[in-house]
Amino acid sequence: MRGSVRHSMILLFAGCLFSSMGSSSLGVYPNAYIQLYNENQSLFMKTEQCGEVQYTIGLLTAELKVIQAMQRGTLTLQEAQEWLQNKENEVSLLFQIEIPSKGYQEFLTYEADSTTYEERVVYYAFGFQKDILLIANNKLPVTIGAYHFERTYGMSAKGSITLQATLPKGTETLHLYFNDHIYGKGQRSVAFDLKKIASLPKLKAPRKWKKQNV
């Protein structure tokens, strides 16, 4: 459900090391940015139901990715600054698939269309990417730069897929169309209003974060 995806996207930031909640016309500190995310989750997270299958797609902006990397200690403040400057149009989409009625059973164990478990694994690892389409501003196809299906080996009921793409400058809307040939029933789509997301207060430039906030 939505709370589970929140674990994948935002509870990664729980216990955040960035303590300042200050803001200014030049932007907000990381904790305040995360709070804005939590208060506006409907802009960043979409859910589609198809029969027993539930698809939840979450959008990670460049700013959220930088905060996450800083928490993990994989970026310095200088590297974070350069990363935001060079990848401001890059987004990640976290795609989760689950079958709530099956409880804790891995979604891939749910039989469909006479496919075997191994065939379903191969499809989501390599084939599903071809059945996903990203469209910017209702007309511009966006190339999926990276696709990764995370195997859970029965440790989780959900399947997780990460997509990465660089959007054209000035993108105001992003539609994700998908046609799951294993569990789906026709094409589905979700839309993200990037214009509204862009209207939220910006993340303060990392070079202005205080040392004690890291």
pLDDT tens-place string over residues 22-74: 444 468 888 889 999 999 999 999 999 988 899 999 999 889 989 888 888 88
| Cα dihedral sign, 41-146-95-4 | negative
Q: Domain 46-197 falls in which CATH fold?
A: Immunoglobulin-like (2.60.40)
- For the CA atoms of 40, 41, 45, 48, the dihedral, rounded to the nearest 10 degrees, stands at -100
**pLDDT at residue 91, rounded to an integer:** 93
Is pTM beyond 0.85? Reply is no
